Amino acid sequence: MKLLNTIQKYDVFVFSWVINAGVHNNLRKACRYVTKIGDGELYVVAMFLMVWFEGLQYPPLQAMLVAFCIERPSYFVLKNSLRRNRPAAAIKGFHSFITPSDKFSFPSGHTSASFMVATLLGHYFPLLLIPLYCCAGLIGFSRVVLGVHFPTDILVGGAMGISIALFSIGQHI
């Protein structure tokens, strides 16, 4: 329990530093657009295009479908079992800059999905790996800047997404 309290204090400290470190309107406006990349619509479009151009037997598509079939339920179970409050509920007087899609914050689903997709697509299309990881990192960062996640929500979400992607890739080699 002491470890969890220490992590929570660290999270609140780093979160407060990011929120108060001159991160103002222009960055928040940019983060509103960046976070929308991780809302899920682009993942559906990417899978649709894979089906359209390559068919259902396309290995990147199959790996992505398996990964999402693992990631979404895992994320949902973890988030609703651990029930970690979002910053607005955990920090007195703080209000996030967007309305989150659900009540709890741990782990970040946007970050989990974005790192999972970045890892999967980066495996099959290595030239895209660095830009995809940069995009995934920005999605995670945007969630903190917008006040809906603590840093460890992002770290665990990213690790979860990468792990699930690597498992899925291993199933399709």
C-alpha closest to that of 172 among 51, 63, 69: 63
Q: Residue 113: what are its φ and ψ, rounded to 5°? A: -65, -40
Query: In this predicted model, which residue has the larger pLDDT, 5 or 121?
Result: 121
3-state secondary structure 84-128: CECHHHHCCCCCCCCCCCCCECCCCHHHHHHHHHHHHHHHHCHHH
Extract the tokens encoding 169.
């890739």
pLDDT of residue 2: 77
pLDDT band at 20 (very low <50, low <70, confident <90, very high): confident
pLDDT band at 22 (very low <50, low <70, confident <90, very high): low
What is the per-residue pLDDT across 130-145, written as a single tens digit (0 to 9) for each? 999 999 999 999 999 8
Rounded Cα–Cα distance for residues 33 and 69 (Å): 26
pTM score, two decimals?
Answer: 0.89
Extract the tokens encoding 117.
């997709």
What is the per-residue pLDDT across 101-156, written as a single tens digit (0 to 9) for each? 888 988 999 999 999 999 999 999 999 999 999 999 999 999 998 989 999 999 99
3-state secondary structure of 110: helix
Q: Say whether pLDDT at 23 is over 60.
A: no
CB 105 within 8 A of CB 157: no
pLDDT of residue 1: 66
Question: Judging by beta carbons within 10 Å of its beta carbon (0-12, 13-18, 19+), is residue 59 exposed, middle or buried?
Answer: middle
**Phi-psi category of residue 40: left, alpha or beta, with phi > 0 → left and psi -120 to 50 → alpha:** left
Residue that the structure tokens 């309107």 belong to? 25
- CA 17-25-144 angle, to 5 degrees, is 40
Rounded Cα–Cα distance for residues 93 and 71 (Å): 33
Q: Residue 58: what are its φ and ψ, rounded to 5°? A: -70, 120
Rounded Cα–Cα distance for residues 148 and 143 (Å): 6
